[in-house]
A and B are shown apart, each in its own frame.
Chain A
Amino acid sequence: MISPKLVEVGRHINIELITCSEVKNLSGEPGNFEVSLVNHPRYIDPVKCTGCGECSRHCPVTAVNQYNMKLDDRRATYIEYAQAVPLAFAIDTDSCIGCGLCENMCVAKAIQYDDKERETSVKVGSVILSAGSKGYDPSGLDFIGYEYPNVVTSEEFERILSASGPYFGHLMRPLDREEPKSIAWLQCVGSRDTNRCGNGYCSSVCCMYAVKEAMIAKEHAHGELDCAVFNMDMRTFGKDYEKYYLRAKDKDGVRFVKARVHTIIEIPETGDLVVQYADESGMMKEETYNMVVLSVGLQIQPDTAQLAKLLGIELDKYNFAETNTFAPVATSRPGIYICGVLQGPKDIPGSITEASAAACLAGTELVEARGTDIPKVEVAEEIDVTGQEPRIGVFVCNCGINIGGIVDVPAVREYAGTLPYVAYTDENLFTCSQDTQEQIKEKIKEHKLNRVVVASCSPKTHEAMFMETLEACGINKYLFEMANIRNQNSWIHSKEPEIATKKAKDLVRMSVARAAALRTLKEKVVPINKQALVIGGGVAGMNAALSLGNQGFNTVLVEKEAELGGFSRKLHHTIEGDDIQAYLKKLGDEVTGHDAIEVLTKARISGFEGFKGNFSTEVTLGTDNEKRKIDHGIFIVATGAGEYPPKEYLYKEDERVVTQVELSDILEKKGTDGLDSVVMIQCVGSRNDENVECSRICCQNAVKNALDIKKRNPETQVYVLYRDIRTYGLLEDYYTEARKQGVIFIRFDQDAPPDVQPSSDGLLVTVKDHILQQNLEIRADLVALSAGMVAEDTEEMSGIMKLNRNPEGYFIEAHVKLRPVDMPSDGVFLCGTAHGPKLITETISQAQAAASRATTFLAKDSIKLSAITAKVDTDHCVKCLTCVRACPFGVPEFNTNEKLIEINEAICHGCGVCASVCPRQTIQLSFYEDDQIISKIDALLEAGGM
């Protein structure tokens, strides 16, 4: 999943990677920092190294593989993992014996034993700190059995499950490499524990990863696998997480046990582990597992804390960076921004969101200098080759000895020369190296080549680079084809060189055939309208608009109500104690007073057309329905969510039953007058049949109000009736504080909800106590319902703007993990509670993230659209609508006026689904047209197959 991102970062023209380096000092001020670095020696030149791996294969020294959590060995000359960027090896001098073998083997001459530590410096305008965390090391705990081989940490288990891990993805336990038939996960190891590890916070991610690991382990297992997760609370609070948890529990049979295990004992004869625990009724249970996984929490490492100190950034007591509720990614030092776990425990979507938010703020600081310090790419004028007979150049790569050591490369080259239209052949040590690119360019010119085939490795990693080489000498980049004779050939048939050579010839023949059938494709260039539209004027929308406005982009902010502020107008303070109304006032003033922002209130979306870079939206304004058309290059959806109106527990029947939002109003206006006893009920309108999802914020909301009550009057008794307390991350401290203040928490089962009855002497709430297994009858003066969140009614708007929503009514992002603020259509972004329930502080970083992503469009004058798009042959199309139904992006449309199927190439993703499902083959995907594919198949079969 992370591979494409790595490749993108590695190849990005505006990103310079400085690896093996540490920051030694940071001087200067925002806009003009100087960063002093120590560059540790790698002993292998990353520019010359092609990543072929010969050095490592011949290294005689074994060292412990830290990447695989010490579960296997690696060589002293090594690369951490196959997808690493830069794809360059390094020498671990702690274990290297200096035998010189790697230097002898390296054909690229990349080994530098005399590499030295250097000191360098870079000038930057802003700094983003994303130093991350590590898993908690449980060796200091003497009661959970980490000393036994079959007790592993979750990090170790991740490597065990990984195909590139120590056991190649086979589910095995370390002691005897037997496949376990039962595995227990112990949650909160190194989290929510102020006694033994001092980490009072919740690590936020362990519940989800334990569920995931259990599910994957079950998939990898060859027979029945018993999975049990021992937990205090299951914290599956993220978007769609509750559904995943329920699937594991109800469909896949993962057992979730509410218990913390005291001690683990190994049975010496079998290596199995005896887990003893008291169930909720106090009965002792003893279970034997083949393996135990410790779900270790996230912990900031001492060297990271040291770095933060060096940079002058304040950290909290757990070494997370101090940030402000309303400025979540700004550190205490101006110009330094933060993202990821160092900001606070969080999952991947949260980290990625913050990364974009930090980029937004870092970029805002540099607005004046934008575009001044980036390399320019020279593109040669394209040579028109239409009508020319194909002249194909074939370049066969040895990949060091990766290919050449097995495949007879000269023979393949010679064979290529016999194929139709081949005008030139060559073989290279490394076709991908920088000097080879220059050679290819020369040969293209010298031999007037108009097609190029490279027989080497995977197009996934290298196609874009070779296409650039073609473009640089005026050849259309779509006149290029690759044959993967390494990953799909020499690596697989390494023991059968003859077969490998034969297959390489077949693959080259196929590629040459396709190359001859390739056509010049034009990439459409569309101008970008630099204006932005933000829909929704709550905390999310205002922050998004402000972030865009501060970067100099004109922004129109559309709000349906008469006032800005959204749902936050009903809230008083955050759990940290920050004044929300004061913040809203300041934010609103900033937005309305901003030169680049135009605010339209009482405005509704009534029409929409266009595509990325060129949208046009019609807005209906005010009571007299005045219409206005807005042209914009991108838009951000921030339509928000509200509080669920409860139907349960006598709400609206008895005035002593209120929601948490109403309770905070009461506390603000009347304090705790007349409140001797307050009962709070969680999960009202969440985690039930009607709304499966967790509303994420209600637990902290209850804790917030409970603490407020206790602060106003410590004598008021507060009872919180809950199903799982989900005060994730640093919110856990408030849960601890609430208990300290005497708030009583009582867990109930979904099947046995509390009962609320009115009486002359207050409300009587009956609930079964989870520990005593006895009914409690609580006399309460007030019952506060923790009503969940519901998405705003956006049905009409989503219809007009073609935006997909999930069953709960929240908008759907492009990728739940990797693209959390992009919507599936390009140029459309999402933030705030329109995406799903979240806190104000999370909303702010998401809004900044959406603005940041939008900037990647708005900063350009035009964009090139990929030429790989689908086209309909309307003469032969029978309008069966199969493509309309099959397209995952909803692109093909039936034009009712023209009675034609239309595919807008500006929004087509080029996935080819429509082309493959079309029953009459009337849709062609350019670059993958039928004749191009068939030519390959014909070429394969020509020689009688393989």
Chain B
Amino acid sequence: MAEEAIKIGGKKKSIFLDKVKELLPEGGNLNLCLTCGACSSGCPATGLEDMDPRKFLRMAALGMDDEVTSTPWVWMCTMCTRCMYVCPMKINIPQLVFNARASWPREDRPKGILGSCDMALRNDTCSAMGTSEEDFQFVVEDVLEEYQETQPEFKEMKADVNREGAQFYLNQNSREPVTEPDEMVPLWKILDLVGADWTYGTKGWAAENYCLFLADNENWEKIVRIKAKAVDDLKAKVWLNTE
């Protein structure tokens, strides 16, 4: 690698890492790296884009802000936090990644995530698939009816929609009602067997939040508020988020 030397030293400049540190409790321990590599050893994204968590943090520490805020690697991170879990210094690398994502111009962020976030913002279901309130209710009732008939032991099983005052407000990843409706049922069965008092809602039922992954803080919050309001409106006691 006959690259040009990275120039550092001289007068201290404010760098990206310092800004992220200010946002996090204990500065996310971002300064504490021992360069031991435990993070990279366990990261599913190590090696992608010639990057890994340790290298990413190192670049940030050396003030290589251009590289840190432009590498597409940040979008390959799954935010699983395996890195932080074993890090001897508990360095919050996922938050560094998150803030690096947030530094991207919105329109340059990955199309899939961007599109899903935008779709969820379109109506109050918050569904990244764009599923409407009516469609969701129809699919749930249709699937429920089918199982009640074909599996007599679940004849009494319920999957209420918009019932007020239930213990649990259950939400639902929006892929299932559209592509794999049968996948919803196992959880219903469990809830039925334990006698849980639960309901779906037509508003804010979609469990996923792509705006979070997009590091679009404003819309992430917006979506969370819609969902929270839906729970409150139905006077449910517990919001059961399956994501």
Q: Which residues of A contact B (CB under 8 A)?
A: 143, 188, 192-196, 232, 258-263, 276-280, 282-284, 676-677, 679, 715-717, 719, 736, 739-742, 744-745, 747, 762, 765-766, 769-780
Contact = CB atoms under 8 A, between A and B. Distances in A.
B46 A774 contact: no
A276 B52 CA distance: 14
Contacts of A774: 1, 3, 5-6
30 contacts: A143-B85, A188-B36, A188-B88, A259-B36, A260-B37, A260-B86, A260-B88, A262-B39, A262-B42, A263-B86, A276-B42, A282-B46, A282-B51, A676-B9, A676-B10, A677-B10, A719-B9, A736-B32, A740-B31, A741-B31, A742-B31, A762-B9, A765-B9, A771-B55, A772-B58, A774-B6, A775-B6, A776-B62, A778-B8, A778-B9
Nearest to B17: A742
B8 A776 contact: yes
A773 B10 CA distance: 22
- Say whether chain B's binding surface is mostly helix, strand, loop, or mixed: loop
A259 B9 CA distance: 27
A578 B111 CA distance: 59
Nearest to B61: A744
Contact of A143 (B32, B37, B52, B86): B86
Contacts of A779: 7-10
Top 8 nearest A-B pairs by Cβ distance?
Answer: A262-B42, A278-B40, A195-B90, A262-B41, A779-B9, A260-B36, A193-B88, A260-B38
Contacts of B31: 739-742
Contacts of B47: 282-284
Interface residues on B, range: 35 or more
A676 B88 contact: no
Nearest to A233: B34
B63 to A, nearest CB: 10
A106 B161 CA distance: 81
A196 B86 contact: yes
Chain A CB within 10 A, most for which of B32, B47, B51, B86: B86
B143 interface: no
Contacts of A747: 35
Nearest to A715: B12
B3 to A, nearest CB: 6
Contact of A775 (B5, B10, B89): B5
Interface string B1-22: 1010111111110000000000
Given A143-B86, A677-B10, A765-B9, 7 more contacts: A143-B42, A196-B86, A196-B88, A258-B37, A715-B12, A774-B1, A777-B7
Contacts of A740: 31-32
Interface string B158-170: 0000000000000
Interface string B105-116: 000000000000
A192 to B, nearest CB: 6
Given A742-B31, A747-B35, A262 B86 contact: yes
B87 interface: yes
Interface in B46-97: 46-47, 50-52, 54-55, 58-59, 61-62, 82, 85-90
A259 B88 contact: no
B240 interface: no
B33 interface: yes
A771 B39 CA distance: 13
Nearest to A262: B42
A778 B5 CA distance: 9
A195 B88 CA distance: 5
B54 A777 contact: no
Contacts of B34: 192, 232, 739
B58 to A, nearest CB: 4
Contacts of B50: 282
A679 B8 CA distance: 11
A741 B21 CA distance: 12
A778 B62 CA distance: 11
Given A736-B32, A740-B31, A278 B7 contact: no
Given A143-B85, A739-B32, A771 B54 contact: yes
Contacts of B12: 676, 715-717
B21 to A, nearest CB: 10
A262 B83 CA distance: 8
Contacts of B59: 772
Nearest to A736: B32
Given A284-B47, A676-B12, A263 B33 contact: no
B174 to A, nearest CB: 33
Contacts of B32: 736, 739-740
